[in-house]
Chain A
Amino acid sequence: MVTPPPELGRFAEPALLILVSLSDGPKHGYAIMADVEQGTGRPMGPGTLYAALARLEERGFIEALAPVDRRRPYRLTALGATTVAEQLRELSAFAELGLRRLGQAPR
């Protein structure tokens, strides 16, 4: 039986990128944008970032820390860590399946 991964809802892709970015420690918005761009080679717009941040905070996957010079850092909650790990495992299994069907071995 295929089990559904934990929900990230709308903005799921930016949400996943943000969760991965926060996996190595708290970051504020600009640091998240820079980290995502460096990791994926694609920029994440500020509107997209905050739409996803608001949803992630609302769902208890991340939490806001005290602001430093108007920049507010966010950090992963334990629930967020569990969720992102589950999401990445699902993606990894899916990627392997796709590569196998293409006749290519995973790197």
Chain B
Amino acid sequence: MIALLLRLYPARWRTRYGDEFEALLGERPLGPFDVADVLLGAIDAHLHLRGLGSYSEHRRGFPMSLRLGGVAATVGGALWLAGFVWSSLDPADSDPGGTVALLGSIALLIGLAGLSAFQARTHPTLVWAAFLLPAVGGAVMTFGLVMMAVYPDKPIVGDVSGWFFFIVGLLATMAGSILFAIATWRTGALPRSGAILLGIASAISLVSFFGSSALGEWLQALFIAGFLAFPIGWMVLGLQAIRLDRPVMATGAA
């Protein structure tokens, strides 16, 4: 009886589930309800496998975006932090800190896109709206960094130098990161602690940036702390995304 029921399933399905399904059916006597349920299951398996390939390819994009976004955000945050610390300690024009920060900015853009794509599966409007500002800001900031490396201290459009593009892009990225953090907190698709850290760090950085010269040393220290916490927030979010891509349970089987 069990062998006959199994034969009703597609060969591909039996290759994957046949052995364990046969063991399950042998666990207890089969009643009419079980037999009817297995018959319906066999019909479903035939219908489902016909469309399985395209569906699987479509779905595979979500964990991939999570993995790519997580790694890029982690690496980007680390490079960004290293680049700016390097530049601060050795502010010569030829130092490689700017190049490291540039690579970090590009990686952060990739991370932002990946994590947004992952979260957009449930809240597309909210996530893509929150994606827009930091994405544009990140692109402008990256452009500014490139221009600063190619034309140091020289205007590139009228009187505007690469530094101006960098600062405008940086501020837009920080403001956009607050929106992204709020969207991440709202969706709940990623752990909220990373989103909170990123949002607070970006907000502190942004607010203290405008008031740092007017309100004295303690606010400048706050700005530096926020500036350092900003990439750390991205790193934490990235690491949490990577962890989310792994199995959560490690206990023994029932």
Name A residues whose Cβ lies closer than 8 Å to a Cβ of B: 1, 3-7, 22, 25-31, 33, 35, 43, 45-51, 53-55, 58-60, 63, 65, 67-73, 75-82, 85-86
Contacts and interface: CB of A to CB of B under 8 A. Distances in A.
Contacts of A76: 247-249
B248 A29 contact: no
B122 A51 contact: no
A55 B77 CA distance: 36
A68 B253 contact: yes
A17 B24 CA distance: 18
Contacts of B22: 70
Contact of B38 (A5, A47, A54, A65): A47
B56 to A, nearest CB: 6
A60 B63 contact: yes
Given A47-B37, A76-B248, A28 B20 contact: yes
Given A22-B249, A43-B33, A76-B247, A70 B19 contact: yes
Contacts of A77: 246-248
B23 interface: yes
Given A47-B38, A58-B59, A78 B245 contact: yes
Contacts of A53: 17
Chain B binding site: helix, strand, loop or mixed by DSSP?
A: helix
B64 to A, nearest CB: 10
Nearest to A53: B17
A71 B42 contact: no
Contact of A46 (B37, B44, B125, B243): B37
B254 A26 contact: yes
Interface residues of B, number: 49
Contact of A26 (B17, B48, B122, B249): B249
Which among A1, A26, A68, A81 has the greatest number of chain B C-beta atoms within 10 A? A26
A81 B122 contact: no
Contact of B122 (A33, A45, A86): A86
B57 to A, nearest CB: 11
A46 B52 contact: no
Interface string B234-254: 000000000111111101111
Contacts of A25: 249, 251-254
B21 interface: yes
Nearest to B126: A3
A63 B24 contact: no
Contact of A60 (B38, B55, B62, B122): B62
A30 B24 contact: yes
B155 interface: no
A45 B23 contact: no
